[in-house]
Structure 1
Amino acid sequence: MVDNKQLKPEITALLNPVVDQLTRHQITGDKTIALEISHLLMRVISATRWSNPYDLVNTIRQVGVVLQAALPREFICGNIVRRVLSIIRVEIEENLELDPNSESNTMMSSIFSLLSTNNNTVKQESLIQSKKQSSDLRSIIIQGIRDLIDEIINVNEGLENMSADLIHDNEILLTPTPNSSTVLQFLIKARSKRKFTVLVTENYPNEIEQTHKFIKKLADNKIETILIPDTTTFAMMSRVGKVIVGSNTVFANGGCMSNSGVSNVVECAREHKTPVFAVAGLYKLSPLYPFNRNDLIKVGNSGKVLNYSDYELLENVDIITNPLNDYIPPENIDIYITNIGGFAPSFIYRIVLDNYKPEDNNLE
């Protein structure tokens, strides 16, 4: 349940069901979460009443804090909230540019209302004007969120258009992220124009089942696919032309979060001078920097690494951990492939500045 006294009851009523679903992991998948948060913010903006647009900004920021607390190690919620805040701030700035004297006009009308004998008429006219401006701004912001939803829904189309240009005939590719639907669609689209082979790491112990489903889908699309153990990555890398990696979050410094085991694969690729391409939708770009990298790593069930029935082996082991994700530094990525083009890691900060406002980096 949402415990934020600053939020109005009607906003809390909209927020509670989504927060409950997020904390219980009933909403899974980056794209699904992004769409759910976008629709939620659209409902919040429709239900919120404000006379000053900055009141709306404060409300969205408070909603963002609650959503981030529901998934503290996921960045998609914060990304979507900040994108919507950027949409709102851009519209506020444009309104100020179109009517530069709006503040002075408001002040003059206030002074006039104090001196005027017909106070009720002036107040009523200013109230009607304020409601009209709020209504117009609300509709523009909601349309901006609809455009954002369309971008998220069609994210694969922009990525797929680049696939045939980046992959060559008879090339051997390697991917360590079989849970990425973006990578799957990227490879399937490339197959329509190119013939190639894909090596897929088994991702022991967390993604084995997902890996087999990924391989089957590739095989169904007539892509030659080979499953390899994680331990053979270094030996196979000399034959690989490119490494294709799916990203969960891309930070402003050019680093990213991905599956556990990906860090090992990209280190091998760097040793063999094999290019690494990371695919990610624009909504996965975050304006934050990974200062505390250890805090970004999620830990899963250690029983998958060493079964509890093998308790005799535990006598010689101090700590058993099962990390679920890895941080990939920018120097291990050659190109980020997004739905708006390909960019070097060093240029990601520029894309971030185009889509986010610095004042919203810290929602609290």
Structure 2
Amino acid sequence: MSSSEHKLDILVDSFVNKLKRRQITGSYQVAHETCQFLMRVTSSSRWQSPEEFIALIRSIGQRIVKAQPREFAAGNVLRRVLALVRDEISDRSASASADNAPVNTAMFRLLVPPPDKQEQENNAQQGQNTRKIERKDDLRSIVIQGIRDLIDEIASVHENIAQMTVEMIHDNEVLLTPTPGSETVLNFLLKASLKRKFTVLITENYPNDIKLCHKAAKKLAEANIETVIIPDSTIYAVMSRVGKVLIGARAVFANGGCVTASGVATACECAKEYRTPVFAVAGLYKFSPNYPFDRDTLIEVGNSGKVLPYKDSDLVGKCEVTNPVLDYVPPEFIDIYITNIGGFSPNFIYRIVLDNYRTDDVDFS
């Protein structure tokens, strides 16, 4: 194994271990760190053709997805980069076929002596080697620039989404958010408060997000937004007064469904009962080309000690306690996805996925 391959293995192992140990969590942080990791991989790895680079990224993607299968943002970033490379390959193939189109130069060749066969082969070989080196260097720079553009897109997600607040929120409206841990929803509400006056109801999301709930309520109150914390059990009772439900998504799938915090599906079902519109706020980097065929694998189970304290250990042998951290929301419970490129119906999500990913890279195996 060469020194460059050894350094690449160390780089990949370090990133995989960070994911396994939960040193990197949350879609935003995972997506940003994955971009930085791919930037280093692209700069330090050795490959001779775009196909070798695609094979390298796919092998790395296998390890990353296996290390943390529920951090969908990492796989989404890898697939976006692979789509960039495949687009560049197709563009070069189209330009090469155009350059090789036959040109009628028979009249001009009458005055030119035919070149020596050996000399012609040498010139062709030299030209081919030169073009191969230039194309490899060009592709490396194109990929690095594409990753930088992706980093800029991820960094400006909150700002671009916040531009739609005036169209989505009205004065003196009551809003409910069952995802107090979503920074995207929090920034959306803070931006809306600059031009609209409204009331926000925040659910506790017991037992996982109680601290995040109080933290978000404090930030909203400091921005002079009337904020009320309600228990999860009162969602159905207050839904008749709610004008809109705002939820944050951890991952959005091609069928229009999404994975989000535990308990959100119940709030969305209550909203559907009362015909209350549900808006899901998510950046484009959270959109995944996968389909949720097995929904049970999407649900992550957390520490059951938060539900049943250890002081009640006598009950442990008499009952089964589970604490789901994530929840799956079907597309029929969501009205609009608010993204950094606009608002879309869940039925249109597959079209956005096709524009940003390639079917060859949906499965890394």
Please name the residue that 1:332 is paired with: 333
Query: In structure 1, what is the equivalent of residue 293 of structure 2?
Result: 291
Residue type of the alignment partner of 1:309: K
Q: Quick one: distance in 1 between partners of 2:178 and 2:220?
A: 14
Question: For residues 193-212 of structure 1, what are the structure 2 equivalents within 5 Å?
Answer: 193-212=195-214
Distance in 2, Cα, partners of 1:305 & 1:141:
47
Q: Which structure is larger by alpha-carbon Rg, 1 or 2?
A: 2
Distance across 2 between alignment mates of 1:312 and 1:57: 55
> Which residue of the other structure, out of 39, 45, 58, is the alignment partner of 1:42?
39
Matched, 1:177 2:179: yes
- Confirm or deny that 1:73 pairs with 2:70: yes
1:48 and 1:312, CA in 2 relative to 1: closer, same or farther beyond 3 A? closer
Q: Tell me what 1:28 maps to.
A: 25
**Match in the other structure for 1:192:** 194
Shifted more, 81-90 versus 40-49: the winner is 40-49
Distance in 2 (CA, whole Å) between partners of 1:217 and 1:165 is 23
CA distance in 2, matches of 1:311, 1:40: 44
| Identity level (%) | 53
* Aligned-residue offset at 1:22: 1.3
Following the alignment from structure 1 to structure 2, what is the Cα–Cα distance between the partners of residues 201 and 262? 10
Tell me, what secondary structure is at the counterpart of 1:116?
Answer: helix
Q: Counterpart of 1:351 in structure 2: which amino acid?
A: I
Distance 2:257 2:168 in 1: 21
Q: Which digits, 9 at most, give the CA deviation of each residue in 1:274-308, with x for residues without a partner?
A: 10000000000000000010011100111111112
Number of residue equivalences: 350
Comparing 30-39 with 244-253, which one deviates more in the overlay? Answer: 30-39
CA distance in 2, matches of 1:170, 1:241: 10
Q: How does 1:177-256 map to 2 (within 5 A)?
A: 177-256=179-258
Report the CA distance between 1:60 and its aligned residue.
Answer: 0.8
Paired letter, 1:47: S
Residues 1-364 of structure 1 aligned to structure 2 (within 5 Å): 8-100=5-97, 116=118, 123-314=125-316, 316-317=318-319, 319-364=320-365
Q: Which moved more, 1:9-18 or 1:153-162?
A: 9-18
Does the residue aligned with 2:154 lie in a helix, a strand or coil? Answer: helix
**How far did 1:9 drift?**
2.5
CA distances 1:158-195 after superposition (whole Å, capped 9, x unpaired): 10000121000000000010110000000000000000
For residues 315 and 141 of structure 1, what CA distance do their matches in structure 2 show? Answer: 55
- TM-score normalised by the chain length of structure 1: 0.91
Matched residue SS, 2:328: strand
Q: Write out per-residue CA displacement over residues 98-140 of structure 1, whole angstroms, 9 at most, x where no aligned residue.
A: 11178999xxxxxxxxx73797775444322211111112111
Q: TM-score, structure 2 length as denominator?
A: 0.91
Q: Secondary structure at the match of 1:100?
A: helix
CA distance in 1, matches of 2:91, 2:123: 29
State whether residues 182 and 280 of structure 1, in contact with CA within 8 Å, keep that contact through their aligned partners in structure 2: yes
Aligned-residue RMSD, C-alpha: 2.1
Cα 1:166–1:86 change in 2 (3 A) is same
Contact 1:91 1:141 in 2 (8 A): no
Once the two structures are superposed, what CA deviation does each residue of 1:76-108 show, in whole Å capped at 9, x if it has no partner?
Answer: 111000000001111111111111178999xxx
Structure 1: gaps spanning 5 or more residues: 1-6, 106-114
Structure 2 spans left out of the alignment, 5+ residues: 103-116
Q: 1:110 matched to which residue of 2?
A: none
